[in-house]
Amino acid sequence: MFFPLYVLHNADLAANPLIGGFGGPKLPAPQAGLMAALSQGIVGGEMAWPLVIVGIAMGISMILVKVRSPMLFAVGMYLPLETTFAIFVGGLIRGWVDKRAAARGYNAAQKARVENAGMLSASGLIAGEALMGLFIATAVFARDRIQGIPEFWAVPGMSGVASWLAIPVLVVLVAYLVLVPLSNAGDPDEPAPPTAIM
């Protein structure tokens, strides 16, 4: 993991020398920031006690009111909005697929196949996004060190168009995440596949 992290940090640092790298706006590293704040508070004796006490009180109150997953709520408190919103959209897609599976009258085996196909599709998209991020960071890293490498992703006049092109791409991804799992339901007589225990 050293080399990808090194490439990501230096590529962002080259683009934004004053505020780039890990901890900057493009690579916020919220978990690392949270752990650093806690470590500095413990070692330096300057713990942010009001925040810690509020967190403890919220955790206890969520357990008392029987929130289904207090940990997800807690993680959502310190992650950036763009990350939690992507998780929210994924949850909406999952809910829609579950409703469509129930409306089609799928049995437990078919629902398990739909769930497995959906998990594999979403996992593949997440891994692909991470690999593309590494590829772009490597290209920026190489461009800053080797003369003559063109910025192949910088097409003149496309900066405003690119944000609008994201909408049809999102529609295609949503359709993919709905249609692919539902098309893998299989026959009702087929045995259920093994499912992960959560």
Residue 148, pLDDT score: 65
Q: Between 144 and 63, whose confidence is greater?
A: 63
The mean of the pLDDT values for the chain is: 81
* Domain extents in the chain: 81-198
Whether the Cβ atoms of residue 174 and residue 86 lie closer than 8 Å to each other: no
State pLDDT tens for residues 73-104: 777 777 777 778 888 899 899 999 999 999 99
The mean pLDDT of 113-134, rounded to a whole number, is: 90
Residue 158, pLDDT score: 58
State pLDDT tens for residues 133-170: 888 777 777 776 776 666 655 555 556 676 788 889 99
Q: Between 107 and 30, whose confidence is greater?
A: 107
State pLDDT tens for residues 169-195: 999 999 999 999 999 888 888 887 776
Whether the Cβ atoms of residue 48 and residue 41 lie closer than 8 Å to each other: yes
CA 22, CA 60: separation in Å to the nearest integer?
33
Residue 157, pLDDT score: 58
Residue 24, pLDDT score: 75
CA 177, CA 89: separation in Å to the nearest integer?
11
pLDDT higher than threshold 80 for residue 53: yes
Give the pLDDT band (50/70/90) at residue 198. Answer: very low
116 burial via Cβ count (<10 Å: 0-12, 13-18, 19+): middle
Instruction: Please state the φ and ψ torsions of residue 151, each to the nearest 5 degrees.
Output: -85, 85
